[in-house]
Amino acid sequence: MAKILFVMTGADRWTLADGSTHPTGFWAEEAVVPFEAFKAAGHEVTVATPGGVVPPVDPASLAAEATGGPENAARFESVVETADEFLKPVALSDVRLDAYDAVYVPGGHGPMEDLSADGDSGRLLARAVTGGMPVGVVCHGPAALLAAMNDDGSNAYAGYRVTAFTNAEEELAGNAAKARWLLQDRLTEAGLTVETGEPFAPHVQVDRNVVTGQNPASSAPLATELLKKLG
C-alpha cells in the first residue's frame, strides 16, 4: 500500500484581471476519478490544503453537463461531500513529505488563486520532484508548480516536459480575456516545456517522475500512469 498526498486548493474564488472574483475551487472529476482509482488499488490518500481548510469544490464541476451525465454528477458530489479524506484535510505546513510515496495535485481555477504562490505547497512539490518521488498534476493543478523553487531561485520543474490547461482551452471556455495570467504562458516562462494536445481531449505527458494531464478528461489516464509508477 502506498500513501498518496493530495495537494489541494483552499480557494473558492478566482480573482480576475478587473479585480472581480469568479466562484471556483477544485474540479470534481480531477479529484474524484484519481481518488477512486488510487483507493481501488489499495492505496491511502491524505488531502492537504493551505491552513487545513476543507477544499471547496467548484460548483460548476458538479453539473451534469460537466460530468458526462447526472449519474456521474451524483457520484462525484457524493464522494466530495462524504469522504473523510476531503472533509478532514491536514494543513500543508504540517505535512512531512517522507511519510508519503507520491504527490497528486488536481485542478480547477482554485490553484491559480492560492497554490500558485503558496510557499508550503511549493516547498513540498520541489522536494518531491528533486527526490524522485512520483508527482501527478492535472489541468490547472500545474499552477502549483510555479511556487516550486530551488534554492538558487530557479523553478524545480524547469526542463520537464509537461502538459496543462492550454491557452486555447482557456479561450474556448471564455476565460482567457478575463484572466490575470494564463497558465501555459506562466509555465513556459518558468522554464517548463508545455506540450499541448487537442482541446478538451485526453492528453497525458510523462517525463521522468512527473505525470501531467491537460484537462478534466485526462484525469483517468493520468491516474493509470501514476499507478504504474507506484508499482
pLDDT in tens, the chain (231 residues): 999 999 999 999 999 999 999 999 999 999 999 999 999 999 999 999 999 999 999 999 999 999 999 999 999 999 999 999 999 999 999 999 999 999 999 999 999 999 999 999 999 999 999 999 999 999 999 999 999 999 999 999 999 999 999 999 999 999 999 999 999 999 999 999 999 999 999 999 999 999 999 999 999 999 999 999 998
Give strand pairing partners of 83: none
Nearest to 218 by CA among 145, 142, 105, 139: 139
Instruction: State the DSSP H helix or E strand holding residue 28, giving kind and residue range, or none if neither.
Output: helix 28-40
The alpha carbon torsion through 179, 89, 75, 211 (nearest 10 deg) reads 60
In three-state secondary structure terms, 91 is strand
What is the pLDDT, as a whole number, of residue 128? Answer: 98
What is the pLDDT, as a whole number, of residue 27? Answer: 98
What is the pLDDT, as a whole number, of residue 231? Answer: 83
Give strand pairing partners of 49: 91
b/e per residue 77-96 (b: at least 16 CB within 10 A): bebbeebebbeebeebeebe
